């Protein structure tokens, strides 16, 4: 085992640098892919909420469904899931919307673990490369027979490039990961507000129907239930 590690150390930091190059390419690919996904799902939520609320207040369920189908964002698809169960009551609507939100959130968070892992581990990978580079520098110094602080510093300064490159890879990965998670939280908060809004509307509608039934004729009761 020691012999294997010794051979690995004598390779220096070059293979670690190539590993970090590959990691940076993967990180950039994930950032571009997730950026495209979030852009595709971008929705003018205040305007959508205003349109949806207006349709519901007017009792235009078909218009509300049309607005949800025309929306391209996560919030619109969550609303559509609730509207599909509207006739089954607040509990069914809430369960349908919550289930859809869980699926949509998982889709938004896909591959973000890669950015998080690279952001956390790239500096340590770079530091590992620096340690290997320093080991190789001292080994080369011993085998070459040269001496002097300058010879040592050249090897160490070269090895420190791996640490710098590791930090260079980590910073954009961490920044992008934080930005994407912030967007996920905002979309989830918007969807949760939709769930509560629809529950309130359905409860109010149920109360209005109950008030209409008081003192109504049988024909009027059948009309309200319909």
Average per-residue pLDDT in the chain?
83
Contacts of 68 (CB under 8 A, 6+ apart): 52, 76, 77, 79, 80, 83
129's CB contacts (< 8 A; 6+ apart) are 13, 16, 17, 20, 159, 162, 163, 165, 166
pLDDT confidence of residue 3 = 62
Q: 209 falls in which pLDDT band (50, 70, 90)?
A: very low
| Residue-range domain boundaries for the chain | 2-225
This prediction's pTM: 0.80
Q: CB neighbours of 95 closer than 8 A, spacing ≥ 6?
A: 85
Measured CA to CA in angstroms, residue 108 lies from 39, 49, 101, 112 at distances of 11, 21, 10, 8
pLDDT tens for 31-86 read: 999 999 999 999 999 999 899 888 888 888 888 889 888 888 999 999 999 988 88
Alpha helices per DSSP H over 84-148: 90-108, 112-144
18-31 pLDDT, tens digit per residue, is 999 999 999 999 99
Closest CA to 119 of 13, 29, 184, 23: 23
Residues 117-127, mean pLDDT to the nearest whole number? 94
On whether the CB atoms of residues 27 and 112 are closer than 8 A, the answer is no
What are the tens digits of pLDDT across the range 158-186?
Answer: 788 889 999 999 999 999 999 999 999 99
């Amino acid at each position: 085992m020691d012999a294997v590690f010794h051979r690995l150390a004598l390779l220096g930091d070059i293979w670690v640098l190539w590993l970090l190059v590959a990691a940076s390419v993967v990180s950039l690919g994930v950032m571009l892919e997730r950026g495209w996904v979030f852009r595709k799902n971008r929705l003018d939520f205040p305007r959508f909420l205003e349109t949806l609320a207006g349709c519901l207040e007017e009792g235009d369920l078909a218009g509300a469904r049309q607005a949800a189908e025309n929306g391209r964002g996560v919030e619109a698809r969550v609303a559509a899931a609730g509207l599909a169960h509207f006739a089954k009551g607040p509990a069914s609507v809430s369960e349908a919307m919550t289930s859809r939100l869980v699926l949509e959130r998982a889709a938004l968070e896909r591959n973000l673990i890669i950015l998080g892992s690279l952001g956390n581990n790239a500096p340590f990978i770079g530091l590992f490369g620096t340690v290997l580079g320093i080991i190789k520098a001292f080994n080369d110094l011993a085998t070459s027979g040269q001496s002097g602080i300058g010879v040592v510093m050249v090897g160490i300064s070269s090895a420190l490039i791996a640490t710098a490159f590791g930090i260079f890879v980590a910073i954009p990965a961490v920044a992008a990961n934080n930005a994407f998670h912030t967007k996920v939280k905002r979309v989830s908060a918007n969807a949760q507000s939709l769930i509560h809004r629809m529950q309130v509307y359905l409860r109010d509608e149920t109360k209005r129907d109950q008030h209409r039934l008081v003192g109504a004729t049988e024909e009027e009761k059948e009309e309200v239930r319909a």
